[in-house]
A and B are shown apart, each in its own frame.
Chain A
Amino acid sequence: MAEIVSVIALAHAPGATGWLDKAPQHEQDAIIAGYGRMAARLSATKPDLIVGVANDHLLNFNVENIPDWCVGIADRWHGPAEWFRDWVNVPSYEVAGNRELGRTIVRECGKRGINLAFSEKLEFDDNWSVPLHFLTPGHQIPLVPIHMNCVVPPMPAPARCAEFGRVLAGVIQAWPSKMRVAIMATGGLSHDPGGQKYFDVDEKFDRWFLDLLGSGDDARVLREVTIDKMIGAGDGGTVELLAWLVAMGAAHAVRPALAAETMFYVPSVPLRCGMGGVEWAVTA
């Protein structure tokens, strides 16, 4: 059976690759070091495959017809999408997918009460382009991307996200394969594209959220981290942290009550985002 060897969650804001030089040197250094630390941790767990969960950013699914989650089942992926190339500012890349696991996730989650869309075609923007650039710059680890609805109400509720994570982990662990699988949520922390806080970061919220994940108490996390609170910290972007709750659900399916360790946090106004990441050290 496949093994879940790593569960991480991290910010994917495009400023990290698009205009990092506009941040003060100490922010640049801390962001590069933070992503580097996460890359080292991920690499140390020797994953054969990454299952990613991230906001779709209204790139593949418009407001008229948006699934809670859509699993990419193609053999190969390409990024960034054309119009986002200049913005994200990373070279065009290819990364392998894993059709067998993608299809297994759709089929088996369906049997467990989670209805997932699936697609051969998903365009990538900063959601994968930025984290892959820092964590696997050679794009050598195949990716099963799961795009989710974080910004078109009604979004899946926090408890539903954690439930999906638990089911997803169970399906991966039951997959008859020798693969070592990492789960990577991307998005957040506080940011507000299209809102009144576009040029602000809610450091207080971000540190509160990171501390909560550090408690390992998922009942408390799900009680306290409401969609309203996330919207209050940045309407158009902070709700991407729903993807982190999927990761938490998955991590706690492997090791209940495991605390998330904050790997870095930089409230970067020049990047218009609370930049940070956590790891649940499921195999430590």
Chain B
Amino acid sequence: MAEVVQHVVDALSLGGIYAALTLGLGLLFSVMRLVNFAYGELIMAGAFAMYLLQDTPLLVLVAGTLAVTIGVALVTERVAFRPLRGVDPMTLLLASFAVSVMLQNGARMVFGPIAKGVAPYPFLEQDLIIGSVRISVLDLTGVVLTAALIGAVAVMLQKTVLGMQIRAAAEDAEMADLLGVKANRVIAAAFAIAGVLAAVATLILIFQQGAVSVTVGFLPVLIAFVAVVVGGLGSLPGAALGGLLIGATTGLLDAALPTDLAPFRDAFLFSIMMALLVIRPQGLVPQKEARV
């Protein structure tokens, strides 16, 4: 029983991280048809901010990480993606791939190729013991934090003027533009929100892993991308659903795979996702014509 609860918390914590990432990616795709591979480098930038700030109080570290990811998100939008607005989605995807390689190698020039350690704050390393169940404070914080953040973003999208404009632009950018929605403002806002989501995912992810390197963001974001596609590219609820699903699947695989197969976890994970795509090429929450 205790073990089951632990696995559930693990899966929820992973699912929360992925849902935050998928929502960020989904948001960017919705407002400007951008499949943003450079999203992983927001995580990388946030992670290096954490590395540099690790001896400061928690509040400074969180603020610094937020500032860096939002900053990098806005700069990439302004410098790389705004000039390319309106080109076909495949060119945008390739451009984001180039931006990703540039940021990664820029960081490699500054920090070197070797992974660096980030020690979590002592209170995060403690375990909460309820009866026979041990839950790490970090995992629990992660679940609560990501759930709160996703909820906040959902409320923001539904209830505020900015959120309504973002949804309108996602639905039909041209129409929204005609009705006076400022594309620059909406897209910059989407990038900023994506930056916040990335920062929270980074904080939890890096404290869990305890190390940062230039490639730290690649795999989580790739997993998140597959989740977005499985959830249904272009649908925000689909994105969040895909994130939760892939977190849960990862947790399940961690629990179910025998030790000698454990290193192959990602291969299993991606195979399952590809199998899902065979069954539903348009994703779980289909948005547009996605198959031929």
Partners in one complex: no
Residues in chain B within 8 A of chain A (CB atoms): none
